[in-house]
Chain A
């Protein structure tokens, strides 16, 4: 089944403790991106990648890192999480640009 898989789906962590949210897609998509969803703000892009080893900042990249060593994986790294990074995170991939996005199920992250 074609899909985008995120892990973990739910996480409560403490301020400053590094964490990684993994994202994997099995559709051989070139484009991948991360969004965060906050009440009243919709979805905002954090980082995106156009192919292996090609990544760039989105609208809200502060406090996040990404890597794209393989085509299928695009992990989101929070080196030192803070409470303002408490959010719902979505990974998405696309074959043809960033229009027709396939989304993961989302990862609820709480930083205390």
Chain B
């Protein structure tokens, strides 16, 4: 079965430190990968997708097909980055996203 694994349920870093949220997937085809974020008291929203290869709010994510990973990175964490982050995979032609378990990121002042 296709799976998305986020190995860290909780991640805590200090403001200004680099942050990396890990995401690994298992899928033999061509995946579409996404990061969704949920800030406190807000709805889940798209942060970025691998196809666009853009940086949003200082975050980037590179698809590594060899390692089947799509880690989310930011060089200097800010307090407003504290949120719940979900990695998601869309299979070719599928009518759904498969989500990871989520990682709660806390940025300490």
Q: Is the CB of B95 within 8 A of A50?
A: yes
With beta carbons under 8 angstroms apart, the residue of A42, A43, A48, A100 that contacts B95 is: A48
A54 to chain B: closest CB distance in Å?
A: 10
Instruction: Give the residue of A58, A98, A101, A106 whose beta carbon is less than 8 angstroms from that of B46.
Output: A101
Q: Would A103 and B45 count as touching, CB distance under 8 A?
A: yes
A40-B101 contact in complex given A100-B46, A105-B43, A106-B43, C-beta closer than 8 Å? yes
Question: Which of A50, A101, A104, A106 contacts B97, CB < 8 Å?
Answer: A101
**Interface membership of B105, Cβ < 8 A:** no
Interface size class of A (residues with CB under 8 A): 20 to 34
List the B side residues contacting A97 at CB < 8 Å.
90, 95
Interface residue SS majority, chain A: strand
Q: How far is the CA of A43 from the CA of B64 in the complex (A)?
A: 23
> In the complex, are the beta carbons of A99 and B95 less than 8 A apart?
no
Binary per-residue interface labels of chain B (59-101) against chain A in the complex, 1 for a CB within 8 Å, 0 otherwise: 0000000000000000000000000001000100011110111
User: Chain B residue with minimal CB distance to A100?
Assistant: B46
Question: In the bound complex, how far is the Cα of B101 from the Cα of A98, in angstroms?
Answer: 19
Q: Which residues of B contact A40 (CB under 8 A)?
A: 9, 101
